[in-house]
Each structure stands twice: as C-alpha cells, then as structure tokens.
Amino acid sequence: MLNSEELLQVSYVEKLKEIVKKKENEMGRKLTCNVVTFGCQMNARDSEKLLGILKAAGFSETESEDADFVIFNTCTVRDNANQRVYGRLGALKPYKKKNPNMKIGLCGCMTQEPSVIEKLKKSYSFVDLIFGTHNIFCFAELLCKMYETDEQIIEIWESTDKIVENLPVDRKYSFKSGINIMFGCNNFCTYCIVPYVRGRERSRETFEIIEEIRNLVADGVSEVMLLGQNVNSYGKNLENKVTFPELLKMVEEIDGLERIRFMTSHPKDLSDDLIEVMKNSKKICTHIHLPLQSGSDRILKAMNRRYTKEDYLKLVDKIRAAIPDISITTDIIVGFPGETREDVLETIDVINKARFDNAFTFVYSKRTGTPAASMPDQVPEEEVKENFNLVLSAVQDMARKRTERFMGRTVKVLCEEKNEQDPSMMDGRMSHNTVVHFKGDESMIGKYFDVKLTEFHGFYYTGEII
Ligand code: 5AD
Ligand code: SF4
C-alpha cells in the first residue's frame, strides 16, 4: 500500500514521463542521464532511488557525464569530498555549452550546508536543480519543476518527519541490496557533520522493512545490508518498540535470504542481545564494522564518543568470545584537535590488541559548525601526516596478519562481478567480507560457490572452485 505522499510522487513520475516524451520528440532521440555518487552506502542506496525515478520517467542511463541530465549525489563528511564535487561540477560546463538541453542536478549531504548553497548561487549558476537529503523523495516533482523553468531551483528542507520509500529503485546489483532501516543520527560526535545534514534519528516501521526485503528476495536478492548511521539504536522512536536484535531475528526468518550485513554499529550501543543473535544466526555475516575513531581516552572524551579504550577492548573481547572467527573492521580519525603522539600510540595499541581485520583511516577534517571546529590546538598538517602514516602502517600490518588466517580454507563466496584487470577471473566476497578472485564467467554472478583459498595477496585471495 502506498501512502499519500508516495501516491503524489507516483503522479509526478507520470507527469515527468510526458515531459520526457515531448523532449524526445523534439530532439529525435532518447534522453540520457548519469547519476554520480560520492560517499557512503546510504548515498549509494539513495542514488539507486534517483536512477529508479529517472528510468521510470524514460531516461536511458549512460556511463558518461556528457548526458542530458547529470546529477551529483554528494557527501560532506570530509572537506576533500566537497572539493572534489566543485572540481567535477566545473568539468561539466563544456558539456553544457555543447548541449543546450543539458540539465545539471546536485543533491545529498553537501547541499544541507548553508555556506555551500551561497557558493552554488554565486559561482555555479549553471547548476539547474539543487535539493537536500530530507526531500530526496520529491525528486520526480522537482524534475518536473526544473523542466518548466530556466531559473536555478533550490529547495532545501531543514528536517522532515516523513519516511517515503515505495518509489521506483534501480539496483546496481541484481543479487544484493542496501535497505534503509533508519535515517539520521542523535550522537553528535564533536567532529561530525552528519547529525546536522541528516537530521535526528528516525526508524522505519518494522513491517515495511520486512516487506521490502521479502520483495527484494522475490526479485532475486540473496544478500541485504541493513543501513543506518547508528543501527544499534533502531526502533527507539517507534510506537511499537522493536530493538535491532529483534529486527535481525525477523529478517533471519525470511526464506530465500542467504546473507545479512549491517552498518554502522556504534560501540556504546552494541548490546549483549545483538552478540547473542549474531552468534546463533545462520545468515548474519561473520563481520562487524565497529568504528573506534581513537584509542585515547582523552580524545574519545573530546570526541563525545561515550566509551573508553577499555570499554572498547572489552566489547571486542566479548564479541570474539562468542564468535571467535569474526572479522572486525573499524574507522580511525587521525589529527583530531589536541591529539598528541602519545594519543596516537594509544590508538596503535588498540589496533594491535583488537586485531582489526581492516580499518579505514581518515585525516581529521574540520567541519564548520561542529564543536571540534572551534576547539583550540588544531594539529599542524606535518604532524598529522606523520601520525597518519604510523597508524596506517599499524593497520596494514595487522590486516595482513589477520587475513592470512584464511589461507588453505574452503569458504563460501558470493560471486559479485567480473574482475577489472583479468576478464577470465571473477570477484566474490566471503561472509567475512574478504574479496576472493577465481576463474569463471558472468553467468556465475549472484551465485554462491565453495572456493579453496590458494594464494594470499595481502588483503585479498585467489582461489579455486571446489
Ligand atoms: N574528519 C575525518 N573523518 C571523519 N569522519 C566523520 N567525520 C569526520 C571528520 N570531520 C569519519 C569517521 C566516521 C566515518 C564515516 O567518517 O571515522 O566513522
Ligand atoms: Fe557522525 Fe558520530 Fe553519528 Fe557516526 S555516530 S554519524 S560519527 S555523529
């Protein structure tokens, strides 16, 4: 059943179809579109929704940014992501000069920042349509508006309490999919801009999530990734309170579903119940992403993470005691204000004790409006660089050591795509999230194989199908 907003948007898709058809007739060819994604899995999922609407309206997708409609779905978690977007926008200008029918859109986290909007108004007037994270579901409506005017359209909402989901989606992979289970974040880690651009936590109704997954499975999906900024606090604002472990148990019951992943877990909210459910599950993958950010109690406090180094290590011990072979990955920030070499050594100590299978290591990026941006003692660039290299080499040493443990094992691998370098090889993923290369062809995509791991390449394997 569609809700009233969903029905309204479906009617805009119909209207957009008419507009697109008219343009097709004028131009004597189909209209092309290109959706460019920056940032995280949430954005990747949002881009599937954007493409779903565009295709439903009659656009055909192209790989090139020389298209009739190009939209950038942006990320603003670190400043270098913003800079990349400005650069890429500039590069669209010649295409627009050549093709007067070309329209350009910009959406996602970056547009929720007032300073970005000022800059776009002033220096990027060739961008036709700008909208934010809260009104992405109005995409069809906004496109209709865009084709009715030559003015730049800017529609940014401060927040929303609406959850609008049942609209066309064009999945990148036929056999796996992300599913939004909640939106926003209430944690306000002091370095992070996400709570400001994605708003407060809102969980989707459990039955809607289950129904969406059932439909996906019926459509050939066997692996789902439950998505939220902080999945461990799923359900807190629902009338019928359902916890994240309870949701997982319900998802487990869905016939035909083989693998369940989720992202992201905040360590402070990870419950014993979750560990128990993971331990007893046949479908939840043997991998957890558990962002550490820093191993220093002083820095963790300044970051407002609400756990200590000891809490984190105890949690890791508890998880490993229940699921000994689990892979644990993490996020680490280097260069938070006031961070000294001593703090960095504490982080390296956690890397060695927690034995991470992998870690994304980021240089701290100052985000305007966050508490950390106005903290004293911002660390000089040179010092951050040195510390970053120390952390990175500790992460890489540990990742190699940990990943080596799979050598010689026969593991279940989901075949995902053709290898980019060698067309005779396919790439797949273990439950642990480790990548495996093996001989094969495209007919194997989306299927599971038992693969013997025969060659270790540092962070991935080559194997033979048994
Ligand atoms: N600077 C650097 N890294 C950041 N992250 C979030 N905000 C910042 C920032 N201001 C990282 C955190 C988070 C990941 C998604 O991005 O490690 O877990
Ligand atoms: Fe940002 Fe912290 Fe929320 Fe993650 S938990 S999105 S790091 S504020």
What pLDDT, in 10s, does the model give residues 70-106? 999 999 999 999 999 999 999 999 999 999 999 999 9
pLDDT, one tens digit per residue, over 119-168 is 999 999 999 999 999 999 999 999 999 999 999 999 999 888 888 888 89
pLDDT reported for residue 162: 83
Note the pLDDT tens digit of each residue in 204-233. 999 999 999 999 999 999 999 999 999 999
The confidence score (pLDDT) of residue 164 equals 86
* Predicted confidence (pLDDT) at residue 3 exceeds the cutoff of 90: no
pLDDT for the residue 95: 97
Pocket test for ligand 1, best of 38, 331, 392 (most atoms within 8 A of CB): 331
Residue nearest (by alpha carbon) to ligand 2 atom 5: 187
Tell the residue nearest (CA) to atom 12 of ligand 1.
331
Over the chain, what is the mean pLDDT? Answer: 96
182 lines ligand 2 (CB under 6 A): no
Atom number in ligand 2 closest to CA 266? 5
Q: Encode pLDDT of 55-64 as tens digits.
A: 999 999 999 9
Backbone angles phi, psi at 350, to 5 degrees: -65, -40
Phi, then psi, of 20 in degrees rounded to 5? -65, -40
- From residue 107, alpha-carbon distances to 103, 110, 216, 254 in Å are 14, 7, 26, 34
Q: Give residue-wise pLDDT tens across range 252-262.
A: 999 999 999 99
Q: Are 178 and 41 in contact (CB under 8 A)?
A: yes
**What's the pLDDT score for residue 165?**
85
Q: What is the pLDDT, as a whole number, of residue 163?
A: 83
Give pLDDT tens digits for 404-425: 999 999 999 999 999 999 999 9
Cis amide leading into 264 (omega within 30): yes
Residues 6+ apart with CB under 8 A from 1: none
pLDDT band at 251 (very low <50, low <70, confident <90, very high): very high
pLDDT of residue 392: 98
- Give the pLDDT of residue 283: 98
86-95 core/surface letters (b: 16 or more CB in 10 A; e: else): beebeebeeb
Q: Which ligand is nearest to the CA of 195?
A: 2
Query: By C-alpha distance, which of 147, 112, 115, 109 is closest to 129?
Result: 147
Gap from CA of 363 to ligand 1 centroid (Å): 8
User: How far is the centre of ligand 1, averaged over its atoms, from the C-alpha of 230 (Å)?
Assistant: 14
If you ran DSSP here, which 8-state letter would residue 50 be given?
H
Please tell me the residue having the least CA distance from ligand 2 atom 1: 192
Give the separation between CA 222 and CA 198, rounded to whole angstroms.
29
pLDDT of residue 199: 92
Convert the pLDDT of each residue in 292-329 to its tens digit. Answer: 999 999 999 999 999 999 999 999 999 999 999 999 99
pLDDT at 157: 94
Cα–Cα distance measured from residue 385 to residue 123, given in angstroms and rounded to the nearest whole number = 32
**Which ligand ends up closest to the CA of 336?**
1
Among protein residues, the one whose CA lies closest to atom 16 of ligand 1: 77
Question: Is the confidence at residue 1, as pLDDT, over 80?
Answer: no
Return the pLDDT at 48: 96
Check if 229 has its Cβ closer than 6 Å to any atom of ligand 2. Answer: yes
362 pocket-lining for ligand 1 (C-beta < 6 Å): yes
Q: How far is the CA of 197 from the centre of ligand 2 (A)?
A: 11
With 0.75 as the threshold, say if the pTM is over it: yes
User: Which is the closest atom of ligand 1 to the Cα of 193?
Assistant: 7
Report the C-alpha gap between 302 and 286 in whole angstroms.
32
Q: Could you tell me which of 284, 388, 390 has the C-alpha nearest to residue 336? A: 388
At residue 7, the pLDDT reads: 92
Residue nearest to atom 2 of ligand 1 (CA): 364
Of 76, 187, 234, 360, the one to substitute when testing ligand 2's pocket (max ligand atoms within 8 A of C-beta) is 187
Mutational test site, ligand 2, from 189, 233, 299, max ligand atoms within 8 Å of CB: 189
Question: Dihedral of CA 335/340/341/342: which sign?
Answer: negative
Tens of pLDDT, residues 338-371: 999 999 999 999 999 999 999 999 999 999 999 9
d(CA 414, CA 448): 4
78 CB within 6 A, ligand 1: yes
The CA 367 to ligand 2 mean position distance, Å, reads: 13
Q: Which ligand is nearest to the CA of 266?
A: 2
